[in-house]
């Protein structure tokens, strides 16, 4: 969230997890208190005072410098904000400096092949049992030998290895062996927030 809050945020020790330690001001004004209260209530951080940069507003006579424009972000996403700084010299028909935020975006790759399919989770703690672990290793070894023999026979015919098909076969072999000998985890239902 970006806004002209006209809020001076001080260096209050008790609010440091929310406001950081690089405020230009010693004391917090009323709008600053409202901003901090709002940020705490909405689980936000005031990231503009997390970085060591200076003023965002200059008085018309040029004597008073304030840091009153702020950038706040959800606490879960605050590591995506790399820097917040003011950019002086931009003509915007205002006495405020342009506040620039450098954001790191996390890109996620969606595997369309498995989209919508349920991810299997196995009871891997069962592999601590030596007999189960030995059975699993033996079964997996046998299945891989069969898989290798079948892929060698196919290679002789085609003289070409399809890596994606081979990887899919390996993955399915591991999953089916684990399902058979280790067992799947049962999904736990989320508890409701409120009781009767």
Q: Residue 157 pLDDT > 60, yes or no? A: no
Bridge partner residues of 69 (DSSP): 4
pLDDT at position 56 = 79
Fill in the DSSP letter of residue 43.
Answer: T
Q: How do beta strands 98-103 and 2-4 pair?
A: unpaired
For the beta carbon of residue 154, count every other beta carbon within 10 angstroms: 15
Q: How much is the pLDDT for 154? A: 63
Name the average pLDDT for the chain: 80
Beta carbons of 24 and 52 less than 8 angstroms apart: no
Q: In Å, what is the CA distance from 69 to each residue of 5, 19, 77, 85, 117?
A: 6, 13, 20, 10, 46
The residue extents of the domains of the chain are 2-103, 116-181
pLDDT, residue 67, reads: 80
Q: What is the pTM of this model?
A: 0.49
How sure is the predictor about 77, in pLDDT bands with cuts at 50, 70 and 90?
confident
Topology given in CATH for the domain delimited by 2-103: Deoxyribonuclease I; Chain A (3.60.10)
**For the ranges 1-5, 35-39, 122-126, 164-168, which has the lowest average pLDDT?**
1-5
Tokens standing for residue 1:
């969230």
Q: What is the pLDDT of residues 88-119, one digit of tens each?
A: 776 666 777 778 888 888 777 666 665 556 67
Are 70 and 20 in contact, with CB atoms under 8 Å apart?
A: no
Q: Which among 95, 177, 99, 102 has a CA at the least distance from the CA of 133?
A: 177
pLDDT given for residue 131 in this prediction:
92
């Amino acid at each position: 969230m970006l806004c002209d809050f006209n809020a001076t945020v001080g260096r209050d020790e008790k609010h440091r997890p929310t406001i950081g330690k690089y405020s230009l001001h010693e004391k917090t004004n009323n709008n600053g208190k409202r901003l901090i209260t709002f940020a705490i209530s909405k689980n936000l951080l005031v990231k503009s005072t997390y970085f060591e940069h200076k003023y965002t507003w200059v008085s018309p006579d040029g004597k008073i410098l304030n840091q009153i424009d702020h950038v706040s972000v959800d606490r879960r996403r605050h590591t995506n904000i790399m820097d917040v700084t003011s950019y002086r010299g931009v003509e915007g028909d205002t006495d405020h400096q342009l506040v620039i935020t450098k954001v790191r975006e996390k890109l996620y790759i969606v595997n369309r092949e498995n989209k919508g399919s349920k991810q299997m989770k196995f009871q891997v703690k069962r592999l601590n049992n030596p007999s189960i672990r030995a059975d699993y290793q033996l079964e997996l070894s046998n299945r891989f030998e069969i898989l290798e023999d079948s892929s060698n026979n196919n290679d002789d015919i085609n003289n070409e290895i399809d890596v994606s098909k081979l990887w899919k076969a390996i993955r399915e072999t591991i999953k089916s062996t684990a399902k058979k000998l280790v067992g799947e985890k049962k999904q736990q239902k989320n508890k409701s927030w409120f009781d009767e």
